[in-house]
Structure 1
């Protein structure tokens, strides 16, 4: 009797082990979603080379990238679909990508829009509110108008890049230096123009105060400039993105969208960007923008 009991006991253990192993191996691979961010589009390779910037991509390269996504059956997620994924309310296909654009340059419409429309893709442009309604100076970029945000909604949705805090003061993003009242006032102004629950941090800079304001305004997602993939554990207020530029090779692009790029940034709930790290980053971005302004002027 004792022998039978021991045999039965070990049989149960063996069966449980085999079932558990099957369950482990049967678990689906973690979904990794790349969020791409573009800025300024050049009409051809020569113009892009003249800019020599880390935020420019020529439109021929862009079309090649979009064609690759289309031919390989990638799903282009909307902001709402990405948000629902993070809430656990939606399971996207493994081959999913999000397309974003920062600053709101006019060539997002004149150059990128026809290509996105051709492939029936959606994208989100994070606009600087002040530039939607103000005249551009002769040595500045040409930005989208408020009318553009109403006209091109068949392809684009529009998020916030602040109203007037996409600026640097002493090499540091103004958003990190402003007091809470100024930040709130800026957000109110921008929401009067762009009533969107999606936000991109200017220069990728943020701190706990900014996140607190975003929460109070019921923003759903906020995008950084950290490299990395969005997973089910990503903080909605610290969404990483891959910057795509003229320096991004096609092979690199393919690796990024297929989840094969080294995942540099892994979300840590205790992690917050330090001002010291941001100052180095923003100085680089400032130099890039100055180069572009000189080329345009």
Structure 2
């Protein structure tokens, strides 16, 4: 037992500072789990440890000095420009932002910040109803260009719409009618009491199921008439039978070819908009919600995507595995937890163990 313990200690010492941690953020404002002051405390810790922040593009080019770290932000929220960018300039640190391009416009009308769920819901509602998803909750192209030209911020793909697909026709339950979720808005329209809840996954995760919109109101009528007063288990059983009886008329099951064509079109929108506006090549893709697919990797590699970034926890080697780059995101991003996760992520063996158990 003593020899095993000594071996573990030796491995931990040997692999210390040989891991490359990548931290994940979304919004950075007074409403989110990380505000500007807390984000600045994180940067101060990195500065005190003399860590070198690099961009994802630099990581891909092999420009990875010892004691490196990556800071990443998903989606492209306005507060990334308002709150994060000034701090990056203050500490001369770098970050990579993965953009959802449907929501990005050229000009800004207001600077009021909402929590991401409500901001995304309103944007998707406008897109579904009017075909325009641009929102002031996201950065503008002018702001993005300013950040890119500073040399401190790298911009890469994160899908155009960041929506979901239906993955199964087995009921998970029923809507109450007061839900405000952007992916539900995309798939159902404005949800009503009695609409059926189906399992969802990220749109790049594989072939999905297309459900004709009129089915939801047909099902709702059946719910109100037959299911509403039953206990949930019985209601779900009967609901599943009703779905089975109607699936041939209202459900379309994507083929592998349908899936390939859909994500090709979606990725090209995302990739081309970033490249057109920034005049820079885009080579990296961040999975929406971390929902991955081997088939999608094959498709996107042929389209020029070099690396795939996940939400899987753990650390990375200085010789990256581009099919699965790991990141660290914390629900409670306190200074203490940041320090602990930074310690784990900088140690290659501890970071790998962290990834396996989390």
Give me the TM-score of the superposition, normalised by structure 1: 0.68
2:15 aligned partner: 29
Alpha-carbon distance between aligned partners in 1 of 2:87 and 2:163, rounded to the nearest angstrom: 28
| Shift in Å, 1:33 | 0.5
Structure 2 match to 1:187: 267
The 5-angstrom pairing of residues 1-297 of structure 1 reads 29=15, 31-43=18-30, 47-48=31-32, 56-85=33-62, 92-93=65-66, 95-133=67-105, 139-140=122-123, 142-153=137-148, 154=150, 155-169=152-166, 170=198, 171-176=200-205, 177=207, 179-195=259-275, 196-232=282-318, 234-245=320-331, 247-259=332-344, 263-265=353-355
Task: Report if aligned partners of 1:33, 1:259 keep a CA contact under 8 Å in 2.
Answer: no
CA-CA distance at 1:194 after TM superposition: 1.3
> Is this contact kept in 1: 2:64–2:318, CA < 8 A?
no
How many pairs align? 227
Measured on the aligned residues, the alpha-carbon RMSD in Å equals 2.8
Once residues 98 and 138 of structure 1 are traced to their aligned partners in structure 2, the CA distance between those partners, rounded to angstroms, is 29
Give the unaligned 5+ runs of structure 1: 1-23, 49-55, 267-297
CA distance in 2, matches of 1:62, 1:150: 22
Task: Give the secondary-structure state (helix, strand or coil) at the position aligned to 2:160.
Answer: coil
Detail structure 1 runs of 4+ shifted over 6 Å in the superposition: 134-138
Q: Which moved more, 1:167-176 or 1:62-71?
A: 167-176
SS at match of 2:23: strand
Measured at CA, do residues 138 and 210 of structure 1 come closer, stay the same or move farther in structure 2, by a change above 3 Å? closer
Deviation track 1:41-84 (CA, whole Å, cap 9, x = no partner) reads: 123xxx34xxxxxxx31111111111111122101122133224
